[in-house]
Structure 1
Amino acid sequence: MEEKSSARILLQIQKLPLSPLTDVYIQQSKLVSHGCFFSSAPSTAVDLLQLVFVLVAHLQLVELGEFQIGDNIKPLDPKTVASIVRYGKLRFPMIHKATGYSLVYSQMYPFEGLQNYTSGIIHHVRLTGLEPNTLYYYRCGDPSLPSMSDIYSFKTMPASGPRCYPSRIAVVGDLGLTYNSSSTINHLMRNKPDLVLLVGDLSYANLYLTNGTSSDCYSCSFPDTPVHETYQPRWDYWGRFMQPLVSKVPIMMVQGNHEIELQAENRTFASFSSRYAFPYKESGSSSPFYYSFNAGGIHFVVLGGYAAYSITADQYKWLQKDLSRVNREVTPWLVATWHPPWYSSYTAHYREAECMKVAMEDLLYRYGVDIVFNGHVHAYERSNRVYNYTLDPCGPVYITIGDGGNREKMAITHADETGKCPEPSTTPDEFMGGFCAYNFTTGPAAGKFCWDQQPEYSAYRESSFGHGNLEVKNETHALWTWHRNQDMYTKVGDQIYIVRQPKRCPVEPKGFS
């Protein structure tokens, strides 16, 4: 059997105000793949768990962990606080102890009048010896200080195997921190997922100046700023907002454009890559922006829309190698995710990721990717199975789920509406690596940049905030359900069974590259 990375778990905990604060993030990072019903196979367990937590001291302990913002600030010394996690199958006693490492990061602006930021102390701790599909209790902090968290619990993913799946996987993108975000998370929690996939654009800290002033349209309101500013404390607020969910449910993340956060010396993604950990090394990647993991019988591939992806790039080479190693006898389902969509009929970001599509679509098709999740466009859309803009029973189902609740408003116009087709010159994004979208040469839209009616690949689209759930039933059937925020959490907005046809759609054999 092959060894693959499983879902990590991101858990956040915070104590009450007026006492030392402890923010906790837990991420599960590696799973040895064995069928969970194969009695002849050894009962190999999840052997690694990544725990990331932020120790933020309060009141008299301010020098030990609080973030700082201003003109003349000095980063904290991470060594002043220990990185300790106690955990076990029982609340008492927790017989296991793990020690990790700590760090701080800074967001710096080399311009007069802009306030720099340095984070609180962020701790990364790896837990080992964990069993699959098992409940664990934990607490974290520094026992030498009055800063240990309360006791919380999480459940590991099932072992990889063709008959073993998480009961429900929630998928949502472009969350932010708004009333609509709260509604989305409340609905999502009521549906009790076993795993959560966030497809990019998390805190939207880059919609704020360094003094906390905000705008729905940053470039419109602040055209004269010398650099695109951010308000980094929004990351702390967002983490606390997510606490009720991520303190107990596994979560995985995708980089979005709002995580880029360009700063001095052209550094990017400082907060995203410092606050969260990803199983990129475990999956053979050299970058945290693209990696893979298993959740039961599903192999997930996370790609970086804002990292080099051409056929000569490291990401492409890694993807080809990762896909070639997937054993569909162990993980029948293959799911890919990245932030900017390839198939979206909305005017917003229309065909913006065409260069990435040109570079990678053939590879995903060749290896039989079943489902693709994207965000970026602030609406919901589900495609029919499609390849190269043509209906194809062996192509993936593409689902855009960027309707989590962000403050940039909902996308409501479609490129096929009269007068709504954008000019190609307005489509490129500076971080997407070029421009490849031209008029179609074949099909119903031949000679045009946009369709003049809803594209045949677009099965369902709606401009409403919400989230989706994926329930894999067996090796060939998965139920996808989308829920609107304005409905009761049990009401269905869109639902379809996604069916794999391995005999009709053979894929490249394991080991081919």
Structure 2
Amino acid sequence: MTTTDVHVFFLLLCLFSPKVAAHGRIPTTLDGPFSPRTRRFDPSLRLGSDDVPMDDPKLAKKVGFNFPEQIALAISFSHTSMWVSWVTGDAQIGKNVMPLDPSTVGSEVWYGEESGKYSFVQNGTAMVYNQLYPFEGLLNYTSGIIHHVRLDGLKPGTRYYYKCGDSSLKAMSKEHTFETFPTSPDHFLRKIAVVGDLGLTLNSTSTIDHLSKNDPSLILMVGDLSYANQYLTTGGKGVPCYGCAFPDAPIRETYQPRWDGWGRFMEPLTSKIPMMVIEGNHEIEPQARGINFSSYLTRFAVPSLESHSESNFYYSFNAGGIHFIMLGAYIDYNQTGAQYAWLKKDLLKVDRELPPGLWQLGILLGDGGNIEQIDIEHADDPGKCPSKNPSIPEFGGICHLNFSSGPAKGKFCWDQQPEWSAFRESSFGHGILEVINSTYALWTWHRNQDAYKESSKGDQIYIVRQPEICLANIAKVSSKDQ
């Protein structure tokens, strides 16, 4: 598949080895290398990427001032912990905004193993963030109160029922439920949904509808979530190319209420299934005084401290026999950087304490339904090589370099599909990863344009781990770093 933005964000380390499940004859990576092939997109299937309007019922606030909304779960580092996050109060947007006081509302989660019976109570923290633009004609924003509570001491493989809010104000949510992951060596996570570039369009809703029918155990949201930065602070309609539509904007604006709408849109899913996020370029959201990523850093709970990371931009966690590593592309990832040093320590820790078995997957995603629409052309198509002078990014520099090796050596663009690209097509949708054991993982691509049936799979392949090759390469890299 082609992508508007490509995200390569996570590693999986398999820890156990149950029996291989029977799925019939499906191609594996051992059958390759495959001849590169492109499936051309049928224009009649294009549904567009029209915005979901802010007055849509799915985006509307449905609770009172101090009551929880935008409820979301996230995994902590261990199997025995879970984060619960939510928002209370009303966000404000205008020239002069006054932040809410987080100390005025408690952060409590009541939970237990029986519906209506809550044997445990856990307290957490609350905060607000601002998005400030001291420029004429631009509006400022201050968020509602964002709460994060970590539940500890949970039993693995157990269903819990919970409410969140402030009991002293009699402002508790309705009952929700989640299930912790098993720690048995015979059980991996049943299904892992992987989505990138989701946005908040009509295609986004189709993606989430299809994803929900797959009933995953975990959602990996690998960057570019709400696309709030495609809008003017006044709520001006989103556009695929912000710089083209608003060339005179003094700074790339962002309409933060889209984040609140996105949280409400996702709540039916995220209040029962943990969602782990990592930042993308659309989360940069620059504002006054060089501040970036305020929404991402405040709205989402990630186990950075628990995994000994120094930043919410990269972290790791364990779930259902798998060790996940979420890596950030918008923070230093060079060998001299903190992220690289942390990654080495994290990998070494896993290798020491658990049976060996490494999955390294870079799932290429840019397909959730975002407003930038689908890329239906490829840079290696005749006459489609882009200009060397694109819009200046809001983060980092620009590299106008020709390829230094391979078939495109000395050229700015490939003139053929790269040999490492076995299959590509343009479609919105989501991926499902099933880790069968420490050797086999099944990857399935589900396209929005297909009628949703068991047989509706755009692509499917077994990814087969070859430890004798991977471990040898890891040893070489480690020896170079000594």
- Tell me the TM-score normalised to structure 1 length: 0.77
* CA distance in structure 2 between the aligned counterparts of 1:328 and 1:13, rounded to whole angstroms: 47
The equivalent residue for 1:496 is 461
Contact 2:284 2:394 in 1 (8 A): no
Alignment partner for residue 451 of structure 1, among 395, 414, 420? 414
Partner amino acid, structure 2, of 1:215: G
- 1:267-306 aligned at under 5 Å gives the runs 267-306=291-330
The equivalent residue for 2:197 is 174
1:454 to 1:87, Cα distance in 2 relative to 1, 3 A: same
* CA distance in structure 1 between the aligned counterparts of 2:311 and 2:469, rounded to whole angstroms: 35
What SS does the corresponding residue of 1:47 show, helix, strand or coil?
A: coil
* CA distance in structure 1 between the aligned counterparts of 2:72 and 2:285, rounded to whole angstroms: 21
* CA distance in structure 1 between the aligned counterparts of 2:431 and 2:339, rounded to whole angstroms: 28
* CA distance in structure 2 between the aligned counterparts of 1:162 and 1:503, rounded to whole angstroms: 22
The equivalent residue for 1:391 is none
1:228 to 1:404, Cα distance in 2 relative to 1, 3 A: same
1:474 to 1:270, Cα distance in 2 relative to 1, 3 A: same
1:324-365: CA deviation from partner (whole Å, max 9, x where unpaired): 22228847664xxxxxxxxxxxxxxxxxxxxxxxxxxxxxxx
The equivalent residue for 1:126 is 150
Partner amino acid, structure 2, of 1:440: S
* CA distance in structure 2 between the aligned counterparts of 1:437 and 1:303, rounded to whole angstroms: 25
Alignment partner for residue 410 of structure 1, among 367, 374, 398? 374
Give the number of aligned pairs: 419
Moved more, 163-172 or 296-305: 296-305
User: Does residue 212 of structure 1 match 2:225?
Assistant: no
Q: Give 1:207 shift.
A: 0.9
* CA distance in structure 2 between the aligned counterparts of 1:328 and 1:201, rounded to whole angstroms: 34
What SS does the corresponding residue of 1:117 show, helix, strand or coil?
A: strand
Contact 1:13 1:149 in 2 (8 A): no
Alignment partner for residue 25 of structure 1, among 72, 75, 89? 72
Partner amino acid, structure 1, of 2:343: L
1:93-131: CA deviation from partner (whole Å, max 9, x where unpaired): 210001111111111111122111111111111111111
User: Does residue 262 of structure 1 match 2:262?
Assistant: no
The equivalent residue for 2:402 is 438
The equivalent residue for 1:137 is 161
The equivalent residue for 2:81 is 48
What SS does the corresponding residue of 2:333 show, helix, strand or coil?
A: coil
- Tell me the TM-score normalised to structure 2 length: 0.81
* CA distance in structure 2 between the aligned counterparts of 1:411 and 1:229, rounded to whole angstroms: 24
What SS does the corresponding residue of 2:146 show, helix, strand or coil?
A: strand
Higher relative contact order (CA 8 A, sep 6+): 2
**Structure 2 runs not aligned, ≥5 long:** 1-12, 16-57
1:216-257: CA deviation from partner (whole Å, max 9, x where unpaired): 121111111111111111101001111121111111001011
What SS does the corresponding residue of 1:468 show, helix, strand or coil?
A: strand
* CA distance in structure 2 between the aligned counterparts of 1:197 and 1:262, rounded to whole angstroms: 25
Q: Give 1:261 shift.
A: 0.5
What SS does the corresponding residue of 1:98 show, helix, strand or coil?
A: strand
1:424 to 1:317, Cα distance in 2 relative to 1, 3 A: farther
- 1:186-335 aligned at under 5 Å gives the runs 186-216=209-239, 217-327=241-351, 330=354, 334=358
Contact 1:162 1:475 in 2 (8 A): no
The equivalent residue for 1:183 is 206
Contact 2:59 2:261 in 1 (8 A): no
Q: Output the aligned Cα RMSD.
A: 2.6
- 1:29-108 aligned at under 5 Å gives the runs 29-31=76-78, 46-55=79-88, 65-108=89-132
* CA distance in structure 2 between the aligned counterparts of 1:401 and 1:310, rounded to whole angstroms: 22
What SS does the corresponding residue of 1:215 show, helix, strand or coil?
A: coil
* CA distance in structure 1 between the aligned counterparts of 2:463 and 2:162, rounded to whole angstroms: 37
Q: Give 1:214 shift.
A: 2.1
1:422 to 1:436, Cα distance in 2 relative to 1, 3 A: closer
1:421 to 1:162, Cα distance in 2 relative to 1, 3 A: farther
The equivalent residue for 1:109 is 133
* CA distance in structure 1 between the aligned counterparts of 2:260 and 2:270, rounded to whole angstroms: 14
Alignment partner for residue 470 of structure 1, among 427, 433, 452? 433
**Structure 1 runs not aligned, ≥5 long:** 7-11, 32-45, 56-64, 335-368, 374-399
Contact 1:138 1:152 in 2 (8 A): yes
